[in-house]
């Protein structure tokens, strides 16, 4: 496989469930990101990992917990979410550093919290 | 604090005509500006970028213009094609892409 792969594509979970989103990149990049896209809102940066180290946590509630075991894999662990957390969650990767290095996105996980 | 704004949620143009998508930003420290394109059920894909030291960058049918004094950039697509119908996101970053900021997107529809 090439590019950035996210699983699952769709997820419906109750507020008491625990689930995880998975992201894998095959581009040899060393930075990985989680973004949240809510309807008609800008993409919202959640977490950034450079060389497996978390470098950004954009004031995200603790019910979202990221994990980056290596430069190719990124997880987002979810627990006790709220209905307002329903959104499209996008994973991205890039070469770390240069502001001109574009992000490569996966196709996202559409999350619905009931 | 929305540092990148796309004030037009949608735009409709006729095939063959020019599409102009606009973007405004508030942070004068941004060094790079990028445009992404997103089809339904897919993630955004990088389209074209421009450095803050330039005022124009062209790639085939796509040209991005930057007006630093007005903190404004635009994406021109000419001629527009039906396959260009998508949501276009404007993004900006400093010298490090760890904090890339996105606009809310503009949905472009190109009618045959």
Q: What is the pLDDT of residue A1?
A: 53
Name residue, tokens 């973007």. Answer: B23
Query: What is the separation of C-alpha A15 from the centre of its chain, rounded to a whole number of angstroms?
Result: 19
pLDDT at A52: 75
CA nearest neighbour of B105 among A69, A113, A39: A39
- Contact between A105 and B41 under an 8 Å Cβ cutoff? The reply is no
Residue B16 tokens read as 């063959």
pLDDT band, residue A58 (cuts 50/70/90): confident
Burial category of A10 from C-beta neighbours within 10 Å (exposed 0-12, middle 13-18, buried 19 and up)? exposed
pLDDT at residue number A50: 85
What would the mean pLDDT of B103-109 be, rounded to a whole number? 96
Non-local (6+) Cβ contacts of A36 within 8 A are A43, A44, A46, A87, A88, A89, A90
In the prediction, which pLDDT does A100 show?
81
d(CA A92, CA A102): 10
In the predicted model, what is the mean pLDDT of chain B?
94
Q: Of the candidates B43, B89, B94, which has its C-beta nearest A99's C-beta?
A: B94
Chain A residues with beta carbon closer than 8 angstroms to that of B34: 100, 102
CB contact under 8 A, A97 and B100: no
Higher local confidence (pLDDT), B81 or A56: B81
Mean pLDDT of B63-70: 97
Confidence (pLDDT) at A2: 66
Query: What is the model's pLDDT at position B41?
Result: 85
Residues in B touching A99 (Cβ below 8 Å): 31-32, 93-97, 100
pLDDT for the residue A54:
79
- Per-residue pLDDT of A4-40, as tens digits, reads 999 999 999 988 889 999 999 999 999 999 999 998 7
* Closest by Cβ to A102, choosing from B49, B101, B105: B49
- Taking the Cβ of residue B27 and every Cβ of chain A, the question of whether any pair is shorter than 8 Å is answered with no
How many CB atoms sit inside 10 A of residue B37's CB?
21
Among A59, A103, A107, the strongest candidate for a mutation testing the B interface, having the largest count of B CBs within 10 A, is A103
pLDDT tens digit sequence for A84-105: 999 999 999 998 777 788 999 9
Q: Do A42 and B49 make contact, defined as CB atoms within 8 angstroms? A: no
Please name every residue paired with B27 in a beta bridge, in sequence order, or none if there are none. Answer: none
B43 touches chain A (CB under 8 A): yes
> What is the helix (H) or strand (E) element at residue B4, kind and residue range?
strand B4-5
Residue of B nearest to A91 (CA): B43
Chain A CB contacts of B102 below 8 Å: 35, 42-43
| Cα→Cα distances A6→A27, A106, A109, B46, Å | 14, 6, 7, 18
**Residues of A whose CB is below 8 A from B2:** 42
How far is residue A37's CA from residue B40's CA, in Å, rounded to a whole number?
13
Most trustworthy range by pLDDT among A50-64, B44-58, B92-106? B44-58
């Amino acid at each position: 496989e090439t590019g950035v792969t996210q699983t699952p594509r769709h997820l419906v979970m109750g507020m008491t469930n625990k689930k995880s989103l998975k992201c894998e990149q095959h581009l040899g990049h060393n930075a990985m990101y989680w973004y949240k896209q809510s309807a008609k809102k800008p993409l919202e940066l959640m977490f950034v990992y450079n060389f497996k180290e978390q470098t950004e946590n954009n004031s995200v509630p603790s019910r979202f917990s990221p994990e980056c075991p290596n430069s190719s894999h990124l997880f987002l662990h979810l627990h006790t979410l709220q209905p307002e957390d329903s959104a499209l969650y996008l994973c991205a990767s890039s070469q770390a550093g240069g502001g001109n290095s574009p992000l490569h996105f996966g196709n996202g996980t559409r999350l619905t919290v009931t | 604090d929305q540092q990148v704004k796309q004030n037009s949620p949608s735009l409709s143009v006729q095939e063959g005509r020019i599409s102009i998508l606009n973007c405004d930003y508030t942070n004068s420290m941004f060094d790079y500006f990028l445009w992404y394109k997103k089809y339904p059920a897919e993630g955004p894909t990088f389209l074209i970028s421009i450095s803050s030291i330039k005022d124009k960058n062209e790639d085939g049918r796509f040209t991005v213009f930057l007006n630093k004094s007005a903190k404004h950039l635009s994406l021109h697509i000419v001629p527009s094609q039906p396959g260009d119908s998508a949501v276009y996101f404007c993004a900006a970053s400093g010298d490090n892409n760890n904090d890339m900021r996105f606009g809310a997107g503009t949905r472009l529809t190109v009618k045959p």
